[in-house]
A = this chain, B = another copy of it.
């Protein structure tokens, strides 16, 4: 079982922040690498991790940040799924260079394990069967999903050719504190933001699209747990394994906040799949799978959003 006493987290966004917290909770000394300086509140969220402000697509910066760590958690991304289709060329130039730089860095300095955060919500495309297992065909309908898939293939190629110890985690629709509604991250973040600011919630389609919402602190804990497990498949789904419709989310939000969300209905966007629920059988065979209930997770997220307002 690999030791996990020091780690590098690439990306101080939504998921990277939760990973830093999960690592701090288990006493792992973490270093967090992010391109832009953070304000004090965001630094505080990193729970004592060493902060490195540098671009992950620059080789020397990454080499020095990765020096001596037991594990690298790669949590940096390109554009958001919806905006990626507006400019696929920009998405390509943003999404892949940091991943390739990371892989070349680890190739030159082998040792640390690698966890690559991929997207179970986009790489599969329209499911032929639900729940979606890891061997399901991958036919993404967003540039975001295509680039995640290409990045996965590079990770697996480097693993095979250059003895890298890597795992790809295809995360479902992750939600929780720190998710930024303004950047278009996540339906739950958007709903809570709209409820907080008294604006109507934008819903594409009939509201019956089904998603696998998984609570970010659960995902971060799973990531930290898996980093100490060498066995098992190289590609793993990480989700709740439960399907919830957008209407179910709206009902849960109403219950938690006491506010009935107003709706702003739009036609289906074409690239939104009808139903996406991940099969987490393989994950369960290795570690404790995410278990926070939707209501519980929304309650904690709302508390965080609400604190944000009153702070």
Expressed in whole angstroms, the Cα–Cα distance for A101 and B89 within the complex equals 8
What B residues does A85 contact at CB under 8 A? 161
Across-interface contacts of A96 in B (CB, < 8 A): 89, 92
List chain B residues, Cβ under 8 A from A100.
88-89, 92
Quick one: given A101-B89, A141-B160, are A147 and B146 in contact (CB under 8 Å)? no
Chain B residues within an 8 Å CB radius of A146: 150, 153-154, 157
Is A143 located at the chain interface by the 8 A CB criterion? yes
Interface centre among A100, A153, A156, A160 (most CB of B within 10 A): A153
Whether B92 and A270, one on each chain, are in contact in the complex, defined by CB atoms closer than 8 angstroms, is no
* Residues of chain A in range 148-170 having any CB-CB distance to chain B below 8 Å: 149-150, 153-154, 156-157, 160-161
Q: Across the interface, do B161 and A141 meet the contact criterion of CB distance under 8 Å?
A: yes
Q: What sequence of 0s and 1s flags, for each residue 96-136 of chain A, a beta carbon within 8 Å of any chain B beta carbon?
A: 11001101100000000000000000000000000000010
Distance in angstroms from A91 CB to nearest chain B CB is 9
Query: Across the interface, do A157 and B137 meet the contact criterion of CB distance under 8 Å?
Result: no
* A142 close to B (CB within 8 Å): yes
Q: How far is the CA of A197 from the CA of B88 in the complex (A)?
A: 46
With the chains together, A136 CA to B161 CA distance in Å? 21
Q: Does A306 contact B (CB under 8 A)?
A: no
**Interface residue total, chain A, C-beta cutoff 8 A:** 31
Interface residues as binary, A72-94 with B (CB distance below 8 Å gives 1, 0 otherwise): 00000000000001001100110
Chain B residues, CB < 8 A from A138? 153
Residue of B nearest to A57 (CB): B89
User: Is the Cβ of A139 less than 8 Å from the Cβ of B156?
Assistant: yes
- When the two chains form the complex, which single residue of B103, B139, B161 contacts A153, counting CB atoms closer than 8 Å? B139
Contacting residues, chain B, for A154 (C-beta < 8 A): 88, 143, 146
Q: Is the CB of A140 closer than 8 A to any CB of chain B?
A: yes
Distance A142 CA – B158 CA, assembled complex (angstroms): 9
Q: Is the CB of B142 within 8 A of A157?
A: yes
CB nearest to A90 among chain B residues: B100
- What is the 8 Å Cβ interface bit string for chain A, positions 262-273, against chain B (1 contact, 0 not)? 000000001100
- For the complex, give the distance between the alpha carbons of A93 and B149 in Å: 17
CB of A12, distance to nearest CB on chain B (Å) = 23
Report the minimum CB–CB distance from A184 to chain B (whole Å): 18
Which chain B residue has the least Cβ–Cβ distance from A146? B153
Q: In the complex, given contacts A88-B103, A92-B100, A147-B150, what are 13 additional A-B residue pairs having Cβ atoms less than 8 angstroms apart?
A: A85-B161, A88-B100, A89-B97, A89-B100, A92-B96, A139-B157, A141-B160, A146-B150, A146-B153, A149-B149, A150-B150, A157-B271, A161-B271
Q: Which 8 A-B residue pairings sit nearest by Cβ, starting from the closest?
A: A150-B150, A146-B153, A89-B100, A161-B270, A92-B96, A88-B100, A141-B157, A146-B150
What are 22 residue pairs bridging A and B, where the CB atoms are less than 8 Å apart in the complex? Answer: A85-B161, A88-B100, A88-B104, A92-B96, A92-B97, A92-B100, A138-B153, A139-B153, A139-B157, A140-B153, A140-B157, A141-B157, A142-B157, A143-B154, A143-B157, A146-B150, A146-B153, A149-B149, A149-B150, A149-B153, A150-B150, A161-B271
